[in-house]
Amino acid sequence: ELGPRAGQAAADARDKAKDAVEGAREVWETSQHPLVYSASSIVDAVTAETETAAATRELRRLDPNFSLEDWRDGVSDELCPIFVDAFVRGDSRTLKPMLGEGLYSRLSHEIRLRKEEGLAYDDARITDCEKVEIIAIQVEDRKAPILVTQFMTQQVNCIRNREGDVVEGAPDDIRAYFYVMAFQRDYDAESHELVWKVVDFQLGGGEPYY
């Protein structure tokens, strides 16, 4: 059984971890990045209930069985962990079917630069991935609604060079990262189906997670 001193140390460690994560989340959520700023503007301009209702109505017109809650759970459990893992590993082939054309061009360029520099992220595995939160919904005439989401992951921050030497982080350096991803439903010419695509993506955070 823990003594009073050990118990207090454990409590202090938990509080420190919580404060670090909340601090990272606050920095990211108050970011002036256009995607985050635009998301805030959308919420300020109209009520979330109105936007959610309009988006759900439009999405059910295309798919009568659509459920916002089921969609969020599916994205949380399946798409987001696969996306983050592929992005960290630099796997453009896995990413391509998930991305809109503009975002694929941007991320594949970033991944290509990484590889040209000889940087390896083989140790950068994901240890946990939070449930997705829908932070904004954008509805425009004659366009599919855009659902803007945010979630946190715990990842190993460890980058090596061509020689295998660690140039950033360490194999036991766990950090909290915050992802903002915007989704839009699009028609896929190959499958002849409506599919969800990630049309914008930003990464923030990188705070130590104790």
Q: Could you give the CA distance from residue 111 to residue 90 in angstroms, rounded to a whole number?
A: 5
- Residue 182, pLDDT > 70, answer yes
**Is the Cβ–Cβ distance between 75 and 149 less than 8 Å?**
yes
Query: Higher confidence at residue 192 or residue 178?
Result: 178
Interval 18-70: pLDDT, tens: 554 455 555 555 554 545 444 444 445 444 557 788 888 888 887 888 898 99
Contact 135, 150 (CB under 8 A): yes
Cβ-in-10-Å burial (0-12, 13-18, 19+) of 24 comes to buried
CA pseudo-torsion sign 66, 69, 72, 76 = negative
Band (pLDDT 50/70/90 cuts) for residue 71 is very high
- The overall average pLDDT reported for the chain is 78
Cβ atoms of 75 and 183 closer than 8 Å: yes
Percent of the chain residues past pLDDT 70, beyond the cut: 76
* pLDDT classification of 187: cutoffs 50, 70, 90: confident
- Looking at residue 31, what is its pLDDT? 52
Name residues whose C-beta falls within 8 Å of residue 205's C-beta, 6 or more positions apart in sequence: 24, 25, 27, 28, 152, 175, 176, 177, 178
Please identify which residue in the block is written with the tokens 């916002």.
Answer: 68
Is 0.75 surpassed by the pTM of this model? no
pLDDT at 7 over 50: no
Q: Residue 166: is its pLDDT beyond 80?
A: yes
Residue 145 to residue 138: CA distance in whole angstroms: 6
Asked whether the predicted pLDDT for residue 17 surpasses 50, the reply is no
Segment 112-161, tens digit of pLDDT: 998 899 988 888 888 888 889 998 888 877 788 899 999 998 889 889 99
Bridge partner list, 106: none
Task: Report the C-alpha gap between 88 and 155 in whole angstroms.
Answer: 10
Q: How many CB atoms lie within 10 A of CB 154?
A: 16
pLDDT at 204 over 70: yes
| 181 within 8 A of 149, measured Cβ to Cβ | yes
| Greatest CA separation for the chain | 64
Question: C-alpha 113: how far from its chain's center?
Answer: 21
Give 96's pLDDT tier (boundaries 50, 70, 90): very high
